[in-house]
Amino acid sequence: MRKYVIMGVQGSGKGTQSEILCGDFDMVHINVGDTFRWHVKNHTKLGAQVKRVMNAGDLVGDDLVESVVRGRLDQHDWNYGFVIDGFPRNGRQAEFFMESYDIDGVIHLEIPDAEVRRRVLSRRLCPNCGMDYNLIADRPEVEGCCDICGHELLTRADDTPEALDARLRDYHEKTRPVLELFRRKEVVHDVDARPEPERVQAAIREALHLPALAPGK
């Protein structure tokens, strides 16, 4: 069984890399943000608590985050392991996680802020059918138009340079203590997230001493 944490700023390819890795090694990709949304959507007890905190304009506290994470991991649907994403977000959560679960490694996707800006600010969205585009990697065939429905493409409201810079600052501030803590335990593998997704994936597997190709493939 393998237990990994994946860390990286928005736009680092964290979701894509987790999906490829989990798909090939039968692990479960646990996105903690999605788990929160699931609770809220399904009106669970935890969901109600999360909603109450967020409606009051507060940040969800460590205890609640830990309950959500523990509840998710207690489902034990991860016989071959998991890759957790979006957690831990601060030093205390990292301590809790290290104590409760034996982590095999932390995949840290490294990418300069300038590259994040380039990637994120090139995103476009079709407000009509919800299709995502990227002017670098996933260009629409006709500039500014959705390939599927022909609607005009928009930039997401929170994909402005100012909002992105605020998110980057926030990310670095919160992540630094988590990374430092994990580094002291010598579990961090820094991986350059700038190359093509396949090359990044290969580098992750090499760092984790996983076979380049999944068994049976």
Residues that bind Zn ion (CB under 5 A): 126, 128-129, 131, 146, 148-149, 151
For 186, residues 6+ apart whose C-beta sits below 8 A from its C-beta are none
- Token digits for 63? 């205890």
Indicate if 119 belongs to the active site: no
Q: How far is the CB of 144 from Zn ion (least distance, A)?
A: 12
Which listed residue (92, 167, 174, 194) is catalytic?
A: 167
Spatial contact of 11 and 120, defined as CB atoms under 8 Å apart: yes
Q: How far is the CB of 137 from Zn ion (least distance, A)?
A: 18
Q: Which is nearer to Zn ion, 129 or 166 (CB)?
A: 129
Which listed residue (72, 119, 123, 124) is catalytic?
A: 123
Which residue carries 């190709």 as its tokens? Answer: 213
Q: In Å, what is the CA distance from 205 to each residue of 86, 192, 198?
A: 20, 13, 11
Q: How far is the CB of 133 from Zn ion (least distance, A)?
A: 9
Indicate if 123 belongs to the active site: yes
Q: Which is nearer to Zn ion, 107 or 146 (CB)?
A: 146
| H or E stretch covering 46 | helix 45-55
Residues acting as catalytic residues: 14, 89, 123, 156, 167
